[in-house]
Structure 1
């Protein structure tokens, strides 16, 4: 391996990325850098301008101009940070989330078209080569919260939600296939007829693989949303993924105009219950039942969704 090898690969990769956008205007009407900022705002827990500047290695003045444009276009809101009043918290508006989703979808389709040119038997080798580059050049480090991305579900992700819920709850709590059937019905109902303005699914991704999920769906009660199917893979716990997933549901439900957010869980899920309490949920009812092959105590939790202070 020589310096020339790396420079040659860099030229090849730069040309490849440019070819993906040839004649397509993937990021229009925004630049690639502006699209990167939108992506971080949509997926990263770091929402202060200072954190964005460090994460993306941007000049402070340049980032400020980008954020000013986003604000003028109605893509972001800036409010005092809860952590430090000297900082400004930046959040995407509904229009901002829609724009970020559109740009991400364009990029996703472009890469799908590129992968379509790779023979199926070569795709595994390509994926392993990409992981090797990241591992060698990125160093042998422990993943941190900033490595986790929250995204919309892609092809196969809804099936993954069913499979991982069934497998994890069987392994950790001994629940039988009745639970898998329940999860499958919830996911099927969402896939067949959800309203994207009021309902949404998040997938937490780490190093290119899904490691968590949660759903926000409409409840039978008026102006009420329901949090469902919160899950974090055991090897990804401790990175704040559950907290981010719950916070995403709360923020989305509030922004969608729901007045209440409710959920049903069981008392054996102690870590999840503590998480709900931290986000302001209150226990409103509990009752014993026998489900999924076990004697359980079901619990109903409720959160009143007050508008954010201006």
Structure 2
């Protein structure tokens, strides 16, 4: 990545920050008239939800300085918004709880926050609302530092998934390997061929989701009466190393076994070396290697096979 490219992207981030900061200022008009700062409202909300019950948990959940949080909690206690009592499990910790006055103080702030968010959504069509929420989830997923074992789940495809997967995989292949539009044509043909299959006892697709965002996918379709092929396996770059590819491959192998196939194959390019360890752990063996010119690149086509 060149310095100019990084600077251009940094300016785009700054532009979005300015826009969002201004937008949030408009949204929090009610909050600006309340006796609480935004940070105080966040603390009250955590205590209302019961997701954090000690100062240590609050500081960790909200990313607050412990000294600043201590002063804020002392102010809440003085205003009779919270109570403290010593933890029976750890005498060094105090359990925090909102008083009836504290809950009464937070209640109108919660209602106002919901109304403000609804006012934003009401200005958009149903499709626009879904697009906005999806973009927000993407930002959360990319910027949040997920724990190594962040939960991922598999689901069946929904309306729009096939087209989105073609678009997304084409963009990723181009960005990571410099391929041309040929890969998008290939992915579209593969997806169209799969979508025409009607026997779901012999063909299946899995969409991997994490924090309600699509982070991967895999397809299994018949190659012959006794052989199946895994197609278009992919995992988002920021979600790699979390076991998602392994989960998709294992699910594909398990399905192929239940469907009565004798062998499961897949074809990949030599540039996609990250998948080698996943395939080998799942019992696949590389049975053929052939150089080819494809997608605007000189590639090494590899055929992997697993006996079932």
Shorter chain as normaliser: what TM range? 0.5 to 0.7
Partner-residue secondary structure (3-state), 1:249: helix
Question: 2:197–2:203: 8 Å Cα contact kept in structure 1?
Answer: no
Residues of 2 paired with 1:146 and 1:185: CA distance? 33
Question: 1:145–1:241: 8 Å Cα contact kept in structure 2?
Answer: no
Shift of the alpha carbon at 1:124?
Answer: 5.4
| Residue 163 (1) aligns with residue 158 (2) | no
TM-score norm. by structure 2 comes to: 0.55
Gaps of 5+ in 2: 1-40, 50-120
Residues of 1 paired with 2:187 and 2:279: CA distance? 20
Residues of 2 paired with 1:121 and 1:213: CA distance? 23
Of the three residues 118, 123, 145, the one matched with 2:149 is: 145
Residues of 2 paired with 1:184 and 1:125: CA distance? 23
Match of 1:250 in 2: 253
Shift of the alpha carbon at 1:120?
Answer: 2.1
Partner-residue secondary structure (3-state), 1:147: coil
Partner-residue secondary structure (3-state), 2:168: helix
| Residue 287 (1) aligns with residue 293 (2) | no
Of the three residues 274, 279, 294, the one matched with 1:271 is: 274
Shift of the alpha carbon at 1:121?
Answer: 7.5
Residues of 1 paired with 2:147 and 2:253: CA distance? 26
Partner-residue secondary structure (3-state), 1:296: strand
Residues of 1 paired with 2:192 and 2:236: CA distance? 22
Alignment of 1:127-206 (within 5 A): 127=133, 142-206=146-210
Partner-residue secondary structure (3-state), 1:299: strand
Q: Deviations over 1:109-162 (max 9, x none)?
A: xxxxxx9xx95278359949x97xxx8xxxx76244342111111111111210
Shift of the alpha carbon at 1:261?
Answer: 0.4
Partner-residue secondary structure (3-state), 1:145: coil
Residues of 2 paired with 1:125 and 1:263: CA distance? 33
Gaps of 5+ in 1: 8-114, 306-310
Alignment of 1:98-117 (within 5 A): none
Note closer, same or farther for the CA distance 1:211–1:287 as it changes in structure 2 (3 Å cut): same
Match of 2:129 in 1: 123
The root-mean-square deviation of aligned C-alpha atoms, in Å, is 2.9
Question: 1:201–1:213: 8 Å Cα contact kept in structure 2?
Answer: yes
Residues of 2 paired with 1:195 and 1:213: CA distance? 19
Note closer, same or farther for the CA distance 1:217–1:125 as it changes in structure 2 (3 Å cut): closer
Residues of 2 paired with 1:252 and 1:231: CA distance? 18
